[in-house]
């Protein structure tokens, strides 16, 4: 039997703003644990968030560079989950009216040849979580909130990616565009760019997608490639053995080259989203959006095309 891979990516990118998304703490990487924190990003009762306007500007900039529609009236929502990396016990994100929708990135079609578009379903703004440090020596888990509240864009693709090579090319293109626009340093080793990878397989010619699994926080091109190839193989083996693929979140271990089951996949309803009452909706004028468009640099693809035509260079 012939199978096709169906893959969609959720790429998280930390924005290169000086301060966090809802407070004045620095976004600088590293530092002594729990020194880049204040009463807002550590979730003290009675504090209120204020949106960093540079985050909105960078989100619009990214959306325009990725051929998106900009949502003139967008707002924040509360994503509730109880985990020590977020002291408020909820993350401020966007679900119902994300700031950008319906974009695309062009890549090489690894199956049919030529070019194809990977559609972008949406881009939303949200805050990053802190980091848990599992300390084997003292057999406990420590928490570092320096990263808590660092602004993130989540760029959600449609399941238009058909191979590990396409996924890598898509993330490479995204990274180049984000860097050209100056919105993120995209340092994968520091977690400024990381991908959640959704994979399913189906028989060639089938109309319905197979059951998908998700692998979270993959932060190198090699790991993205390996994870998709290994997960495709694992799912095909299950199907050929007459077993079922379970919808779940899996942890990819790149050094071992295997993924292991983490938990059953959450749906949006598990997070009990509701509109964030502490932040007003954001209204964007045409003038504001066009002002940002006018400052966009020449993007990688346009630059490449110009070099090829003006200097007769090969691709």
Give whichever of 22 and 170 is closer to Zn ion, judged by the CB atom. Answer: 22
For Zn ion, the binding residues (CB under 5 A) are: 23, 25, 38, 40-41
Give whichever of 41 and 181 is closer to Zn ion, judged by the CB atom. Answer: 41
Least separation in angstroms between residue 31's CB and Zn ion is 13
Give whichever of 40 and 188 is closer to Zn ion, judged by the CB atom. Answer: 40
Least separation in angstroms between residue 27's CB and Zn ion is 10
- Assess contact for 281 and 275: CB atoms under 8 A: no
| Interatomic CA distance for residues 43 and 89, integer angstroms | 8
Least separation in angstroms between residue 44's CB and Zn ion is 10
| Interatomic CA distance for residues 250 and 253, integer angstroms | 10
Give whichever of 60 and 150 is closer to Zn ion, judged by the CB atom. Answer: 150
Sign of CA dihedral 270, 280, 48, 57: positive
Tell me the backbone φ, ψ of residue 100, rounded to 5 degrees: -135, 145
- Assess contact for 180 and 19: CB atoms under 8 A: no
Give whichever of 23 and 59 is closer to Zn ion, judged by the CB atom. Answer: 23
Least separation in angstroms between residue 188's CB and Zn ion is 25
| Interatomic CA distance for residues 274 and 97, integer angstroms | 12
Q: Give bridge partners of residue 135 from the DSSP assignment.
A: 140
Least separation in angstroms between residue 57's CB and Zn ion is 20
Spatial neighbors of 272 by CB under 8 A, at least 6 apart, are 80
Least separation in angstroms between residue 37's CB and Zn ion is 5
3-state secondary structure of 189: helix
Tokens 């760019």 belong to 193
- Assess contact for 200 and 211: CB atoms under 8 A: yes
Q: What is the largest CA-CA distance in the chain?
A: 62
Give whichever of 86 and 218 is closer to Zn ion, judged by the CB atom. Answer: 86
């Amino acid at each position: 039997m012939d199978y096709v891979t169906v893959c969609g990516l959720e790429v998280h990118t930390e924005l290169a703003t000086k301060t966090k998304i809802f407070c004045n703490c620095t976004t600088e990487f590293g530092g002594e644990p729990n020194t880049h924190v204040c009463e807002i990003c550590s979730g003290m009762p009675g504090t209120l968030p204020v949106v960093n306007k540079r985050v909105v500007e960078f989100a619009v900039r990214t959306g325009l560079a990725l051929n998106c529609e900009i949502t003139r009236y967008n707002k924040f929502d509360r994503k509730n989950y109880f985990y020590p990396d977020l002291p408020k016990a909820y993350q401020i994100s966007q679900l119902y009216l994300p700031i950008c929708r319906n974009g695309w990135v062009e890549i090489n079609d690894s199956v049919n040849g030529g070019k194809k578009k990977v559609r972008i379903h949406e881009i939303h703004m949200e805050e990053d979580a802190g980091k848990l440090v599992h300390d084997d020596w003292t057999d406990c888990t420590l928490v570092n909130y320096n990263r808590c509240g660092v602004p993130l864009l989540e760029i959600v693709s449609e399941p238009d990616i058909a191979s590990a090579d396409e996924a890598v090319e898509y993330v490479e293109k995204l990274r180049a565009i984000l860097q050209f626009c100056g919105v993120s340093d995209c340092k994968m080793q520091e977690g400024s760019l990381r991908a959640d990878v959704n994979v399913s397989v189906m028989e060639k010619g089938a109309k319905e997608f197979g059951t998908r699994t998700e692998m979270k926080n993959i932060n190198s091109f090699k790991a993205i490639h390996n994870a998709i190839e290994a997960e495709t193989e694992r799912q095909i083996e299950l199907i050929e053995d007459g077993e079922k693929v379970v919808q779940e979140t899996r942890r990819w271990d790149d050094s071992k080259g295997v993924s292991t089951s983490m938990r059953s996949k959450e749906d949006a309803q598990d997070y009990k989203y509701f509109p964030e009452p502490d932040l007003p909706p954001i209204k964007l004028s045409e003038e504001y959006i066009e002002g940002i468009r006018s400052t966009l640099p020449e993007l990688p693809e346009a630059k490449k095309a110009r070099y090829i035509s003006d200097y007769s260079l090969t691709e």
